[in-house]
Each structure stands twice: as C-alpha cells, then as structure tokens.
Structure 1
C-alpha cells in the first residue's frame, strides 16, 4: 500500500512527527484488507490529535503483474507496421481468452501506434497488461516528449478524431513521461459495451 499524505496527517499539537508517522504505519498494518478501514483509522487518529494544518491522505494498493499477463513488442517507425500490431494484439487477446475486448483494443492500439509513428520519435513500443481480468491496459511509448491532445475535428476534417475515439472507448487514458520520452496509456474495461453511435452509418 502506497500512502501519500500532507503533514497535517502526522503533525499535531502535542504529537511529534515521528510519532505521527509511526501511528500512520500502524493503522496501515492493522487494516491490510481494506483501504477504507485504513483511511477511517488514520482520520480518527488525526481527529484525536487536533491537527493545526489541513490533512489529506491518499492510499493506493499496488501489485505486480504476472509474467504471463504482460506482452511487449517493439514497433518499427513505418505506417505499414500498424496492421501487424493489430494482428499481434488480436492473437494475444485470443490467447488470454479476451475475445470481447478485441474490437476496442484493436481500434485503440491502432490509433495510438499510428500517432506514435507519425508524431513521435523512435523507439516505439507497445505493451499490453491484463489486470486480473478487470481491465486491459494498453501502453504505447516513443522517444518524444510532445503530448497529444484532444481536438474538436469538424465534420469535413480528415484527421483529428483518433484521440477522441480513444477517450470514448476507454475507461481512462493519459500520458506519463520519463527521460527517454513518453508513454500514452489507456485502460479498456473488459465486458464493456461499444458505443456504436460513435460510428456513423454508411
């Protein structure tokens, strides 16, 4: 469990900061099963200490992905690679038994890989993570720090709709940066219905 907190959580009149941190760690240890229970316990400790400062607490439970729940591919900076990537994604999802996520995943990966090839910089890579059958996470990395942004494409515009589709078809998406470049990630809820109104009738 990762705990992010302001000093109002651990500092109060009559209580040393080290004592406050020890109390916080004790509350987290005592409630390993429930993050809500841990938050309630910590807030109760803060109330007893009559903190002089605002208090904010964020608890996050993290876990490692099993090796067989991760797939990674390097992608050549060639638009022809996009069709190959879609095929790799389709094959991996079939292997994982996630047939219902294939359509959305292919669309999302296709848009994000195309963006990385056109507007990013090598090396480009794709990673799929299967999160305990609740979520499928797609990550596309490239060597440029420029972040994509949603556009309001007009009816006659030829481009500018890709990221809009990604935003509509996923539960959430975003960008993270490192020294080598950026990663665009998107979470696809397994079993979600595809909003067919996004696709105009022929």
Structure 2
C-alpha cells in the first residue's frame, strides 16, 4: 500500500499578479469609502437644503461670494456627479481585479484624472481665500482686529497652498509610478 499523494501547492503567483490584486483591492476599498461619503454628502445636502445658508448670511448683512452661491445652488448636482465618479471608479477597479484590459486602461485614466484634479483644485482654494475677505465689512477689515485676522488668513492661505502643492506633487508621483507600472509588459500580459 502506497501513501496517499500530498496535495500540490498552488503555483507561486508572480509579483505582477500580486501587484494588480493589491492595487485593485485597495482601490476598491477606497472607492467604496468614496461612495459611502457621497451618500452621506447627499443626505446632508438634502437635509441642509431646507436651511438656506446663503439667505441667512445675506440677512446678517454678509456679502456672499459668487463661488459660495454657485456651490449652494449646485450642491445636489455636484454630489451626484461625485457619486457617479466613485461608482465608475469601483466598476473600473473590479474590472482590473478580474483582469479585463478595459479595467487596466480605465484605472490609468482615473489615476491621471485625479492627479490633474488635485492641481486644478489649488487655484480654486486660492480664490476661496481671496473671496473670504469680501464677506467681512470694510470697517472691520480696517480695524486692528481685522488687520490681525487678515494676517492670520494670509498665513493660513500660504500654508494651505504649500500643503496642497506638495501633496499634489506626491500624489502625481505615486499615480505616475502606478500608471508606468501598469504599462509594463509583465503586467499587461495578465489582462485580456
């Protein structure tokens, strides 16, 4: 009587295969968190939509910058657009996990869009800081407290802009590295 055959170990997966699995699974988790956030954001937009924040600010005599009025008027549409973006990202990540070529290409497109979007957000934040000063009355801005507040806002503005620039560069470098790695021959060969 011969001993039973031992089960064979599964073949060792390539580093490219492990890279794709890890990247797709982490991205799926981030996409799912994005969807949860967007649903929460939509809930807040609907609940706070009954509270007209712009009208409250105007009633208190504050000048409401155009960007706040535009964002308030389009809050629901912006939230839905972000939700659709996150859903599309999850679909692309799932396709990449299943080794569909369109998932790999779609993932690279998302990497580039997010990297560019981070840089596009920098001037938006700069404009936001500049327009925040228009909310305050001129007599307050010319007072000593107003001068102190303007100095604090200037420091905060530059701190934010530098942080955004550094983080945008870091994310662009990471996304560029991922895009290049997803273009390597050993990775592309795993997709159909």
Query: Shorter-chain TM-score: what band?
Result: under 0.3
**Higher fraction of strand:** 1
TM-score when normalising by structure 2: 0.22
**Higher fraction of helix:** 2
TM-score when normalising by structure 1: 0.21
Larger Rg: 2
Q: More relative contact order in 1 or in 2 (CA 8 Å, sep 6+)?
A: 2
